[in-house]
Structure 1
Amino acid sequence: MIISTFSFALMNVSVKYLYRIPTFQIVFFRCLGSLVLATTYILVKGIPLFGVKRRLMFLRAVLGLTAMCLFFFSLKYLNVGTAVSLRYIAPIFAAIFAVFFLREKLKKIQWLFFLTAFAGVLVLKGFDGNINTIGLSLILTASVFSGMVYVVIRKIGVSDHPAVVVNYFMFVGTVVGGLLAISVWVQPNGLEWAFLFLLGIFGFMGQLYMTKAFQIARTNLVAPLKYIEVIFTICIGVIWFQEAYTIYSFIGLLMIISALVLNTLVKKD
């Protein structure tokens, strides 16, 4: 899980580094790299390429692509560590959607954790002048769509291999990102080419090692470790981009991450 979170952190800061490149162009390269790797993995393992629940996987791809685009857009306005932290509010929206669409039940204590996380967002916006309103709106909307993704994945269940589900996402992202990037294409220079190609590798490694972590250890032990991505991303952002965080930033982020970790632990009891 540490390898996974570090890979995702590297992907996040790579996107931040590519601020000059249009978002849809970044989405295209991010998805293309993972599409090649995931398709190769599926073919080598002899897994059915198109799967069973194709409509749901296509819906998951559209929702996931929307969330990805909004997240990448938000990085134009927010510190990378802040954006990653706020993106992790997605499980809250997923839990709420699951109550209405999957008839799942929540423990009372989980509602307290959700309120604490949202209070952390208010602390960030209300007291930290570095939080851009447009960026905040983009990342919160991205979290809503990510929450929808989780619900759709639950509906897909175990009928389709995880690699196939991810591959639908990468295929749709490659096609849509590529088409939308044509009119805004910016020629990459120097290291930008390297980081564009590394996006797919970092993303694929993050997914692969996260899956392996869940396969070999109990979920309630592994799941909270995914929030290490926030620590990695903040550290790299401060060192690489000289990003500044106020005391209110850390208070708000601590409230959000603590509430989400506690929710993960309680949910798995």
Structure 2
Amino acid sequence: MEFSKPVRAALWMSGALLSFMAMAVSGRELSAELETYHILFFRSVIGVFLISALISYQGLHLMKTQHLMRHGLRNIAHYAGQYGWFYGLAYISLAEVIAIEFTTPVWTALFAFFLLGEKLSLARIIALVLGLTGLLMILRPTSEGLNPAAFAVLAGAVGYAFSYIQTKALSATDAPLTILFYMTLMQLPFGMIPSVLDWQWPSWEMLPWIVLVGVTAMSAHYCMTRAFKLADATVVVPMDFLRLPLIMCVGYLLYQESVDIWVLVGAAVMFSGNLINVRAEQKKLKLSPNHKKAS
């Protein structure tokens, strides 16, 4: 039986949601025994094997690139984003980590404005305002400042945003597998150097979590990419928001984490701004001459 494209996109997004949740739980479990750089090192080792196998199957030409410098910049920022994300998993609730991560579109829009010269449309300005408002609801900073772990996740979201800008530029010339190959290859020494200086063998109980965090890191992005190819962002983005209530349930069931209503409200405010911007971009795309010609 052949499913429609929106249904297939929903199925791929279900795979992405499961992967993101499994990766978060794996990171939390591993943080009980390993430092963040150890986790990222083992994650990269598994990633290198997985991507190398895929490239061997699809063609070694995918290893070629003319933009090593841009790949380097992208991966420094992406590693910083991952470091903040996994560091936060050890100290704050799973829901807070995911909610703060949802600020990434805000920083991406700002980087696009300052680095790429993209215009700040009314929809983007609304998304920025609502994004920052939702962030303040989630963090609720006091006179003592921000929780260091929450600040690390926030800094990680900024790192992710900068890496997305570089990915956008690289995607014009390099295949997705090429970008993933250099991501795993370049980030391997980032985690290896501090891990070797402070080496710690993981216990046997940690090995399944190490494999899971490496596999889900790849499967999450692969599933999301397939979903975006099958359906508009207006279909995919709302499903991505389901990560928050789902991870709240996981945090409650596995770690007895309380449900913070302000985290949910703040994330909903950010999501509404993001959805307004996505709908505006989709409408602009449909009205463009190139889109009309293609249709």
Partner in structure 2 of residue 177 of structure 1: 191
Task: Measure how far apart 1:31 and its partner are.
Answer: 1.6
Moved more, 182-191 or 38-47: 182-191
Q: Does 1 or 2 have the higher relative contact order (CA < 8 Å, sep 6+)?
A: 1
SS at match of 1:186: coil
Task: Measure how far apart 1:127 and its partner are.
Answer: 7.9
Partner in structure 1 of residue 254 of structure 2: 240
Distance 1:247 1:214, change over 3 A: closer
Cα-Cα RMSD: 2.0
Asked if 1:107 is matched to 2:112, the reply is no
Distance 1:197 1:109, change over 3 A: same
| Shift >3 Å, 4+ stretches | none
User: Aligned to 2:22, which of 10, 13, 17?
Assistant: 10
Task: Provide the C-alpha distance between the structure 2 equivalents of 1:96 and 1:240, rounded to a whole number of angstroms.
Answer: 37
User: Aligned to 1:42, which of 55, 80, 91?
Assistant: 55
Residues paired across the two proteins, number: 267
Whether the aligned pair in 2 keeps the contact of 1:124 and 1:248 (CA below 8 Å) is yes
Task: Provide the C-alpha distance between the structure 1 equivalents of 2:154 and 2:260, rounded to a whole number of angstroms.
Answer: 21
Pairing 1:57-206 to 2, within 5 Å after superposition = 57-126=71-140, 133-206=147-220
SS at match of 2:31: coil
Partner in structure 2 of residue 33 of structure 1: 46
Question: Structure 1: where are the runs of 5+ without partners?
Answer: none
Q: TM-score, normalised by structure 2?
A: 0.84
1:161-201 CA-partner distances (Å, limit 9, x unpaired): 11111121111222221221123333322431110111111
1:216-241 CA-partner distances (Å, limit 9, x unpaired): 22333223322222233222111111
1:37-91 CA-partner distances (Å, limit 9, x unpaired): 1111112101421323221112111111111111111222211121111112111
SS at match of 1:104: coil
SS at match of 1:75: helix
Whether the aligned pair in 1 keeps the contact of 2:99 and 2:263 (CA below 8 Å) is no
Partner in structure 2 of residue 23 of structure 1: 36
Q: TM-score, normalised by structure 1?
A: 0.92
1:69-125 CA-partner distances (Å, limit 9, x unpaired): 111112222111211111121111111111121111122132122212211221222
Task: Measure how far apart 1:268 and its partner are.
Answer: 2.5
User: Aligned to 1:51, which of 65, 82, 107?
Assistant: 65
Amino acid at match of 1:159: T
Whether the aligned pair in 2 keeps the contact of 1:22 and 1:185 (CA below 8 Å) is no
Task: Measure how far apart 1:132 and its partner are.
Answer: 5.9
Moved more, 180-189 or 163-172: 180-189
Task: Provide the C-alpha distance between the structure 1 equivalents of 2:190 and 2:141, rounded to a whole number of angstroms.
Answer: 38
SS at match of 2:203: coil
Whether the aligned pair in 2 keeps the contact of 1:28 and 1:178 (CA below 8 Å) is yes
Q: Which has the larger radius of gyration?
A: 2
User: Aligned to 1:221, which of 223, 235, 240?
Assistant: 235
Whether the aligned pair in 2 keeps the contact of 1:224 and 1:265 (CA below 8 Å) is no
Whether the aligned pair in 2 keeps the contact of 1:79 and 1:243 (CA below 8 Å) is yes
Amino acid at match of 1:243: E
